Amino acid sequence: MIPSGLKNNLLMLNGYTFSRMSTGLRWYCSKKKGGCKAKVILDSNRKVVYAGNEHNHAPPQYHITANGNYVHIKEYIMIPSGHKNKLLMFRGYTYSMMHTGRRWYCSKRMSGCKAKVALDSFGKISHVEYDHDHAPPTYHVTSTGKYVFIKR
C-alpha cells in the first residue's frame, strides 16, 4: 500500500490527511488536536507499514489539482460581478451560477469549458470538475477589495 500523495509534509491516505510532528516516520491525523487517534507509520521507502484508521470524524474534503496540489475545497470566495449574479472564484477560476444556485459553471462555459463546481446545502463545495481548457482569468484586486478583470 502506497499513500496516494505525499506533499508539503501532508500525507493523504484513504481521504484522510496526516502530518508529521518532526522528521520521524509516524504521521498523525490532521485532526489530532480534535482528539483523533489515527496514525500512519511509513518505512524509509515511504510505504505504509501501519495504518490506524480509528478516525472519530469524516475525512476532510480535498481535491487534487492537475499539478498535484491539494486544495481544501472550502477555499472559494464569492465576488460581486457587474450583473445581479455573483461569481464564485475557486483557485483563480471564476464560475457563474446556473438556475438553482447549487451548480456553478466555468465562466468560459460558452467557449466550451466543462469545468464546474457544486455546492451542498451548507454552501460547501461538494463536487469539483476541474478540467479547464484555458488559463485562469487575469484580474487584480483594488484597495477596496473589488475584483477587476483584465480583458485579453
Residues within the interface to Zn ion (CB under 5 A): 29, 31, 36, 38, 55, 106, 108, 113, 115, 132
Distance in Å, CB of 131 to Zn ion, minimum: 8
Give Cβ neighbours of residue 68 (< 8 Å, ≥ 6 apart).
5, 7
94: alpha, beta or left? (left if phi > 0; alpha if psi -120 to 50): beta
For the chain, give the number of residues.
Answer: 152
Distance in Å, CB of 99 to Zn ion, minimum: 19
Nearer to Zn ion, 90 or 143 (CB): 90
Distance in Å, CB of 108 to Zn ion, minimum: 5
Nearer to Zn ion, 36 or 117 (CB): 36
Torsion sign across C-alpha atoms 20, 1, 7, 135 = negative
